[in-house]
Structure 1
Amino acid sequence: MRKRHSVIVSSLIIALVLQIVPLPIQVDLYRPDWVLVVLSYWCMALPHRVNVGIAFVTGIAVDILVGTTLGIHSLGLSICVYILAANYQRLRNYSVWQQAIVIGLLSSLYHLLTFWVQHLLTDIYFQVDYLWPVLTSMVIWPWVFWLLRKTRRQLSIT
């Protein structure tokens, strides 16, 4: 019982750390959505364990770590995880590359939602560079999927 919770929590903590690790300005523009990708895997693999509530709490943690208004990332992550949870049986049957496209669509939705809420609260304007993480999230999906699936199977997490 503890093993399955600790693996999920530790993978989310690693994703949170990767989300805030300092990078050069040129590279930071392309930072993948680590938290969204890890949450997406766990939501598709174990939808009864990782759901909208976990996404909301993780989003609050992202808000605190990044320093944005509380609830911005929670809203985006919760909506994306809700879409995944509602369609997880269909998405499991897709190939990893098709899943990467779905992750790209969810990542773009996530970025557009967070931009929209930030635009309502502040005076930021949309830039196309804001969507570069969508491509990098799609690129890292197969490797994150493989790593987390291997970990889940070796530790018999259900």
Structure 2
Amino acid sequence: MFSHNGIIIIFSLLVALMASIMPMPLAFDAFRPDWVLIVLVYWCLALPSKINIITAWLMGFLLDVLLGSTLGIHAAAMALTMYIVVVNFQKIRNFSVWQQALIIGVLAALYHLIVFWLQRFLSDAVFLPSYLYPVITSIILWPWVFLLLRRVRRHFKIK
């Protein structure tokens, strides 16, 4: 039944969206982790039949609306990044959490580069190294987010 399981998954994705727009001190804002990306990667690895590219596109679209960016930029980047996860989920699952953290880093870097390329194509964006700062915090946070969401999934018996 998707209703009970779906509510927990949707709640975790909404929390990730809220964390993505929460105010942070200006000095730390450049290091804001990619909460939506991390949570989506977890659910794509855990439940690839329920959370897929369409979910990623919808979350990216919501992120576009919340951040006030050009509609479709984050949606396209999120969908392309999740496509890689969905295609390789069986391989990624077999890695240790620390190896997965490095994969998250590569995925987050790819996500940010796609966002930059699309912004550059549509407007006059200039690449700054600070675009990739969230990659570092996403790598650091992956083990804790993974363990927390796995505990939630097991507690609520989400299958």
> What TM-score results when the alignment is normalised by the length of structure 1?
0.99
Displacement, 1:124? 1.2
* Partner in structure 1 of residue 67 of structure 2: 66
Gaps of 5+ in 1: none
The C-alpha deviation readout for 1:77-122, integer Å capped at 9, x for no partner, is 0011110000101111100000000000000000000000001111
Displacement, 1:24? 1.3
- 3-state DSSP class of the match of 1:125? coil
* Partner in structure 2 of residue 107 of structure 1: 108
The C-alpha deviation readout for 1:34-62, integer Å capped at 9, x for no partner, is 00000000000000000000000101100
> What TM-score results when the alignment is normalised by the length of structure 2?
0.98
Alpha-carbon distance between aligned partners in 2 of 1:109 and 1:75, rounded to the nearest angstrom: 12
Q: What CA RMSD, in Å, does the superposition of the two structures yield over aligned residues?
A: 0.5
- 3-state DSSP class of the match of 1:32? coil
Where do residues 7-86 of structure 1 align in structure 2 (5 Å cutoff)? 7-86=8-87
Gaps of 5+ in 2: none
* Partner in structure 2 of residue 91 of structure 1: 92
Read off the aligned partner of 2:49 and give its amino acid letter. Answer: H
- 3-state DSSP class of the match of 2:10? helix
* Partner in structure 1 of residue 146 of structure 2: 145
How much identity, in percent, do the aligned residues show?
49
Alpha-carbon distance between aligned partners in 2 of 1:97 and 1:3, rounded to the nearest angstrom: 31
Alpha-carbon distance between aligned partners in 2 of 1:57 and 1:34, rounded to the nearest angstrom: 15
Displacement, 1:71? 0.4
Read off the aligned partner of 1:64 and give its amino acid letter. Answer: V
Q: Does 1:130 align with 2:131?
A: yes
Runs of 4+ more than 6 Å apart? none
